[in-house]
Amino acid sequence: MNDPAPPLAYLTRAQEWALAVTIAVVTANAYYIHPIIGEVARAFGVGEAEIGLVPALNQLALALGILLLLPLGDFYSNRTLCLIFVAGQTLCLGGMVIAPDFVLFTAASTLLGFFTIAPYLIPAFASKRVAPERLGQVTAQLTAGVIFGILVARMGAGIIAEHADWHTVYICALAIMTAVTAFLPIAMRSEGTALKQPATGYGALIASVFTLAARYPDMRISAAIQGLNFAIFTASWLALALHLTSPALGYGTDDVGYLAGVAAISIFTTPRLGRWADKVGPRKARLVAAVVQFAGVALYYPLGFGIWSVLVPLLLTNMVGPTVDVTGRMTLFTLAPDIRTRLTTSYIVTMFVGGAIGSAAGTSIYDLGGWAATCALLLAMSGGVVALSLLAERRWAASKA
């Protein structure tokens, strides 16, 4: 028998916020490198294309970890799995701190990505423990935790690196993760219900991820949308950090860190847009968000040569980009509880494959063609998000006609 549906006690508001904070801290580790990517490259003596391997391999390893580890959440205690994976992530972060060269630093970052599973177990855990009418709001709140983690990681890394060095950034990150590892058993209450072992073996469990993905075309479309959406996110921020700190523009890593503060708008808008999506439906809300995002991406090139002017496209894309993700997850969380984690696995794997492609493409295309080429890439990917969102909305409307 699979992970039981209610009766499971609903989460308290304090528990919802505690889970959001946990997600924020754990998520942050992949994003410290964004504003300091140039500094890390110079410290290890590698080029702009090579340094892109660090976030790219981290994202690919995360996709692999989600594929191999996240499905266990349908059968085993989410709490126990989170404790194990967060502890493993903390050890890997320690490896990044002591790594003496680029190869070992990249290896530790890659393994850290493999263990970054907790932010994707927790929403599935929470979705079974909130009232149906609050699903969009709570999902958005947890997504806001992701946004806050990314915001703090970028701002903190840029400021610390400017006034100390990039290595100090990871020492601070290790201290924070150590505290979270100790706090997590308190933040996640016991599920209160024993979970039975799956009747099938591990291989069959993993195979069922693909079987379920084949059965739900709407999930596949949602996953493809979020894969492109996340590719836009990673490519734009990594290329923007290289662009702004280049000799031609001459901004510092602290300027990039301060610029990342615009992501704070998502902390306030995402829960509100989540409540709006509860009312109008996730697919319609996603289409509107995708169109607004396309408008923001179109402004990156003409407004991307000054620290103040680039705020306009950044505000637009950071306001609605997370809503594309929230609405995509909402299409999964309305399905049967015993398959949500495995459907989320397919969704998140696709998302981080997209993120890895965006990381590699954003830095490589910038290295080859500069800011103009990067903006053309972003616009093409954003157009894909709009087209797929329109397809999903029309398919859903036709199915209800």
Give yes or no for residue 153 having a pLDDT over 80. Answer: yes
If you average pLDDT over residues 38-60, what whole number do you get?
A: 85
Residue whose tokens read 């933040």: 187
- C-alpha dihedral over 341, 343, 347, 350, to 10 degrees? 110
pLDDT, position 391 = 93
Residue 301: CB atoms within 10 A of its CB come to: 17
Q: What is the pLDDT of residues 270-294, one digit of tens each?
A: 777 877 888 888 888 999 999 999 9
Helices 135-163 + 33-44 axis angle, to 10 = 40
pLDDT score, position 24:
92
Q: How confident is the model at residue 109 (pLDDT cuts 50, 70, 90)?
A: very high
Question: Residue 170 falls within a domain, yes or no?
Answer: yes
Largest distance between two CA atoms of the chain: 62
Render 1-15 in DSSP notation, one character per residue. Answer: --S--SS-PPPPHHH
71-75, 151-155, 388-392: which has the minimum mean pLDDT?
71-75
Rounded to an integer, the average pLDDT of 326-342 is 74
What interhelical angle do 13-28 and 118-127 show, nearest 10?
Answer: 160
Residue 290 is predicted with a pLDDT of 94
Determine the average pLDDT of the residues in 331-348.
Answer: 75
Looking at residue 9, what is its pLDDT? 67
Mean pLDDT of 4-22: 72
* Cα separation, 90 vs 323, whole angstroms: 29
Q: What is the pLDDT of residue 4?
A: 45
Q: What is the mean pLDDT of the chain?
A: 83
Q: Residue 205 burial (CB < 10 Å; 0-12/13-18/19+)?
A: middle
Looking at the domain assignment, is residue 247 inside a domain?
Answer: yes
Confidence class for position 262, pLDDT limits 50, 70, 90:
confident
Whether residue 285 is contained in a domain is answered as yes
Check whether 34 has a pLDDT greater than 90: no
- Distance between CA atoms of 320 and 317, rounded to whole angstroms? 6
CA-CA-CA-CA torsion for 283, 285, 288, 289, nearest 10 degrees? -100
pLDDT above 70 (res 360): yes
Rounded CA gap, 166 and 131, in Å? 44
User: From its phi and psi, is residue 200 left (phi > 0), alpha (psi between -120 and 50) or beta?
Assistant: beta
Residue pair 78/125 in contact by the 8 Å Cβ criterion: yes
pLDDT of 200: 64
How far is it, in rounded angstroms, from Cα 165 to Cα 74?
42
Q: Select, from the ranges 18-22, 50-54, 111-115, 205-209, the one with the highest average predicted confidence (pLDDT).
A: 111-115
Give the domain CATH number at 108: 1.20.1250.20
Neighbours of 81 (CB within 10 A): 19
Task: Note whether residue 197 is domain-resident.
Answer: no
Q: At what angle do helices 118-127 and 78-98 cross, to 10 degrees?
A: 160
| Containing structural domain, residue 272 | 13-189+204-400
Banded pLDDT at 5 (limits 50, 70, 90): very low
Whether 8 is covered by a domain: the verdict is no
Residue 4 forms part of a structural domain: no
Long-range contacts at 161-169 (CB < 8 A, ≥ 24 apart)? 161/35, 161/36, 161/39, 161/253, 161/254, 161/257, 162/252, 162/253, 162/254, 162/257, 163/254, 165/39, 166/36, 166/39, 166/40, 166/43, 167/43, 167/97, 169/32, 169/36
Taking Cα atoms as reference points, which of 346, 370, 99, 305 lies closest to residue 211?
346
In the prediction, which pLDDT does 6 show? 42
If one counts the domains in the chain, the total is 1
Confidence at residue 3, expressed as pLDDT on a 0 to 100 scale: 45
Indicate whether 182 belongs to any domain: yes
Residue 315 lies in a domain: yes
More confident residue, 10 or 32: 32
Q: Could you tell me the pLDDT band of residue 1, with boundaries at 50, 70 and 90?
A: very low
DSSP, residue by residue, 158-211? HHHHHHS-HHHHHHHHHHHHHHHHHHHHHHS---SSPPPPPSS-HHHHHHHHHH
pLDDT at position 384, please? 95
Answer with the residue of higher pLDDT: 239 or 154: 239
- Helical residues (DSSP H) of 74-163, grouped into ranges: 78-98, 102-114, 118-127, 135-163
Rounded Cα distance between 268 and 69, Å, is 32
Q: Which residues contact 347 (CB under 8 A, 6 or more apart)?
A: 219, 222, 223, 226, 328, 329, 332
